[in-house]
Amino acid sequence: MTNATGPSRVTRLSVSVAINPTTFHFTLPPGHRPQFAPLKEELHPAFGWLTKNRARSRRRDVFESIDTIVIHATAGFATEHAVDTWKERKASAHWIIPDENEAEHGHFIWATVAEAKAAYHVGNVDYEPILGEGPNVNDRSLGVELVNTQNVEYYRDPYSLWQIDMLARIVLYAWAKYPNLKHVISHASLDPSRRTDPGENFPWEVFKDKVLTQSVLEERHPLVLAASDKSVPPDTDNLNLAVTDRAGHCCEP
């Protein structure tokens, strides 16, 4: 088994007491959006097909509409199992986080549907008491799948530390990118009569802490910080205005 730092034993996270996954929901505090949240993702080979055939237009501007991110688990053993299931059914999500038995684990996550499209990851449920008034859940949300069996046939499959770190990074990435993102919620919380994912063994409090403290973010490169700190010379605006006047306002909207 290998991970991002070379051959080693994978760290798995198990919870001492099972927690009802229908309670998994927290909101992101206004005014604390990260400015920098890189994402180690690669386009899955089926990305184009899934985006075309297992997603739809959001009907609204994606930048304004996204206010929710939904956490799922595959109830299977591998990324390809989830993708094959999506192809057979009308289902999808925006990202898949591989588990510890896959070569990608410790290196990158898979992007499976374009963020601009609404993936088919939540069914027709009564979401307003939880999320408040707004468009269909799929139109307003992003979906993330973690490869994990949950408790299928009583097989307990602890999540790896890397999976939880990457999930937290996805949330931070989306929070930095979409100004209206507010809800972080489990599939079970949205659809408790039919769904249990990400399962009672998911370390929700550990994940929540990583998001809210932003402890999983990498430091920005010093050159980026130096560039962002540069101030505009005081006479620059006047110079630009003069050029614009001489050009007859050619470049104004």
| CA dist., res. 191 & res. 181, Å (int) | 20
CA 191 to chain CA centroid, nearest Å:
19
DSSP H or E stretch at residue 184: strand 183-186
pLDDT averaged per 10 residues in sequence order, the chain, 253 residues: 48 78 96 90 98 95 95 94 95 97 96 98 92 93 94 77 97 96 97 93 96 89 70 50 40 39
pLDDT value for 222: 74
Which of 104, 102, 105, 82 minimizes the C-alpha distance to 94? 82
Place of tokens 């937290």: 168
CA 10 to chain CA centroid, nearest Å:
22
CATH of the structural domain 10-219, one choice from 3.40.80.10, 3.30.70.20, 2.60.40.1220, 3.30.70.260: 3.40.80.10
pLDDT value for 40: 93
pLDDT value for 151: 72
| Residue 10 main-chain phi, psi, to 5 deg | -75, 135
pLDDT value for 51: 98
Query: pTM for the full model?
Result: 0.84
pLDDT value for 186: 97
Strands of the chain (E only): list them. Answer: 2-3, 6-7, 12-13, 25-27, 41-43, 55-57, 68-73, 95-97, 109-111, 117-119, 141-146, 159-160, 183-186
Instruction: Give the residue extent of every domain in the chain.
Output: 10-219
Task: Identify the three-state secondary structure at position 78.
Answer: coil
pLDDT value for 231: 53
pLDDT value for 103: 96
**Encoding tokens for residue 126?**
């009564």
